Amino acid sequence: MSTDTLDRPEAAANEDTQILVTLTVADQLCGVPVLAVRDILGEQVITRIPLAPPEIAGSLNLRGRIVTAIDLRRRLRLPPAPPGQARMSVVAEQGGELYALLVDQVSEVLSLDAALFERNPQTLEKSWAEFSTGIFRLDGRLLVVLDVSRLLALSGEE
């Protein structure tokens, strides 16, 4: 099994800290647990899959493995990305399969105090709350923590 690019001893979260890869989707700051991330990719060639659900952007080739690309904007029922906007991919694994979550931008890895983690506020849009485990309030911005397993659970929904 290959070593993950983000798999470092200092990346192991403990009870006092949440370590998140931060990303942006439609101007919303989000985070996914660093341990859920296998790789981060720049713009990729994505091959459309006929008859796939709308949130499936297609597939891409990652070092010889076929990876299903999921458009997070569609998954979260948001407007499509502007034409020509470069997208990045956050690669995660579930059930032995790799998935690329298409996002607008990947920013940095943040180590946040777990005591500052809050449940989803009542005012959080339903489409976000469905895939969120909670939030952090950062310098006037809301960071929505996404549940990767819920994002990847495509069957039997909608």
Tokens standing for 54?
């709308």
Residue 55: what pLDDT? 92
Q: How many CB atoms lie within 10 A of CB 127?
A: 12
The Cα 90–Cα 112 span in angstroms is: 20
- Give the residue ranges of DSSP H helices in the chain: 72-75, 126-129, 148-152
How many percent of the chain have pLDDT more than 90? Answer: 70
Mean residue pLDDT of the chain comes to 86
Which burial class, exposed, middle or buried, applies to 138 when counting CB atoms under 10 A from its CB (0-12, 13-18, 19+)? middle
Q: How many CB atoms lie within 10 A of CB 4?
A: 15
Instruction: Please provide the CATH number assigned to the domain covering 16-152.
Output: 2.40.50.180
Nearest to 110 by CA among 72, 138, 91: 138
In which band, very low, low, confident or very high, does the pLDDT at 66 lie, cut at 50, 70 and 90?
A: very high
Residue 81: what pLDDT? 87
The domains of the chain are located at 16-152
CB contact at 8 A, 59 and 66 = yes
List pLDDT tens digits, range 115-143.
999 999 999 889 899 999 999 999 889 99
Q: What pTM, to 2 d.p., does this model score?
A: 0.83
List pLDDT tens digits, range 72-120.
999 999 998 888 888 999 999 888 889 999 999 999 999 999 999 999 9
Residue 155: what pLDDT? 56
